[in-house]
Structure 1
């Protein structure tokens, strides 16, 4: 059985998607971008600022499900410019702790957004726990 997770203090867009879906022990968080949830405006013009905000938005959604970033087991990231990969990797490593989630990162045209990230979290344990 699946449960929709909608978060009032996460970014709101007039698009047909749920912030997250919980299915059994897994929480699937929809792709988030680097916008301020209060204004829905892009935060900063650097990959570092947008990545940090994007991951903060994911964290807000996970909190609603009773989880943290430490429950994330898989991340899919889409970065607008290949030249931003070093800044993305640096910020990602500052926000996530080791052992890091499994990850895919691909260059994609995202328009005004420099990064979009979706994640899968596993509720029973945090990464690194047996």
Structure 2
């Protein structure tokens, strides 16, 4: 059985998918991009601002599911420019401070809406 998780505190999906799905004790959160959930506008004011908004969107979805970043066991980071890795990593590190999840970071040729960063997570429900 699966439960669909959606919140108005994160951007609405831009395609046929859910913000997150809970199943078998796990929460699978779809990749989040820097879209302001209040306005629906893409934020492209710099990689730090973009990464912060992505993390806040993830936080909103985790919160809706009754979880926090401490429950995250795996993350996937997609960047359009690996030269921004250090900046994104710094923002990411402000949200994950101990018992870090497994992670990979990859450079891709493009992301939806022309953004520069997308992050998805998998969390373990207690």
TM-score (norm 1): 0.89
| Structure 2 partner of 1:123 | 125
| Structure 1 partner of 2:43 | 43
Kept in 2, the 8 Å contact 1:52–1:95? The answer is no
Residues 1-130 of structure 1: matches in 2 within 5 Å?
A: 1-108=1-108, 109-110=110-111, 112-124=114-126
Task: List 4+ stretches of structure 1 deviating above 6 A.
Answer: none
Structure 2 runs not aligned, ≥5 long: none
Question: For 2:74, what is the secondary structure of its paired residue?
Answer: strand
**Residues 1:99 and 1:14: Cα distance change in structure 2 (over 3 Å):** closer
Structure 1 runs not aligned, ≥5 long: 125-130
Which whole-Å CA distance do the structure 2 matches of 1:93 and 1:28 have between them? 21
Q: CA deviation at 1:61?
A: 0.6
Render the CA deviation track for 1:59-114: whole Å, top value 9, x for unaligned: 10111110011111100010111111111111111221122111011001226211
Q: CA deviation at 1:44?
A: 4.2
Which whole-Å CA distance do the structure 2 matches of 1:47 and 1:98 have between them? 24
| Structure 2 partner of 1:128 | none
Kept in 2, the 8 Å contact 1:5–1:64? The answer is yes
TM-score (norm 2): 0.92
